[in-house]
Amino acid sequence: MASGRTRTSPPDRWPLADADWCLRANRAADRRPIRRCLALASRLGDGVFWYLLMAGLVLADGWQGLTASSQLAATGAVALGLYKGIKRCTRRPRPFAADRRIRAWVAPLDEFSFPSGHTLHAVAFTTVAVAWYPALAWLLLPFTAAVAASRVVLGLHYPSDVIAATAIGSALGALSLWIHAPA
């Protein structure tokens, strides 16, 4: 090449761009208010928020809330097995483990990165919950977006981990609704 620069092929560019976007997002967490807000979203996305939602649905809507919560719990169990199996197969290192410039702002729950279990669960739960209770969309959609963003900003996942988890969670939520749609 005349310029002396090496070119990367399109398949090689994706991991470089993925790591670059992760580093850029991670630097946003240098601002304490952003870090605290996203750390809270991430922590709530560990399950606390979803358990409270399921309990609240039962308390607020009786048997229908119990039916919806049961479907959420079943969807969550399938999501857990699915993402753990994928992680075991792919064994992708977390961004902070692969690049010393990326800081883990909170402790990870496990060793591997792909896919984001928090995002997968949030998307699947939101898909099912909003089908049962469309009025909850104003709360669940922004919360799910915050959970997904938190995983990248906090240095725990690459953007592609979150994108893949969104696709898997959407498919899982849709499958759950196909099996048992709200009446």
Averaged over successive runs of 10 residues, the pLDDT of the chain (183 residues) comes to 49 64 81 88 93 97 96 96 93 88 86 93 98 97 96 91 96 96 84
- The pLDDT, as a whole number, for residue 104 is 85
Comparing CA positions, the residue from 37, 53, 19 lying closest to residue 124 is 53
In a domain, 109, yes or no: yes
**Number of structural domains in the chain:** 1
Question: Is residue 95 in a domain?
Answer: yes
Predicted confidence at residue 10, as pLDDT, reads 43
Nearest to 148 by CA among 68, 10, 41: 41
Please tell me the predicted confidence (pLDDT) of residue 107.
86
Structural contact between residues 42 and 106, judged by C-beta atoms closer than 8 angstroms? yes
Instruction: Name the nearest CA neighbour of 55 among 38, 47, 130, 118.
Output: 47
5 assigned to some structural domain: no
3-state secondary structure of 112: strand
Which structural domain, as residue segments, surrounds residue 103?
Answer: 45-179
Q: Is 93 helix (H, G, I), strand (E, B) or coil?
A: strand
pLDDT at position 177? 96
Per the domain annotation, does 107 fall within a domain? yes
pLDDT at 16: 66
pLDDT for residue 14: 54
CATH, residue 160 = 1.20.144.10
- The letter for the amino acid at 33 is P
pTM: 0.87
What pLDDT sits at residue 15? 64
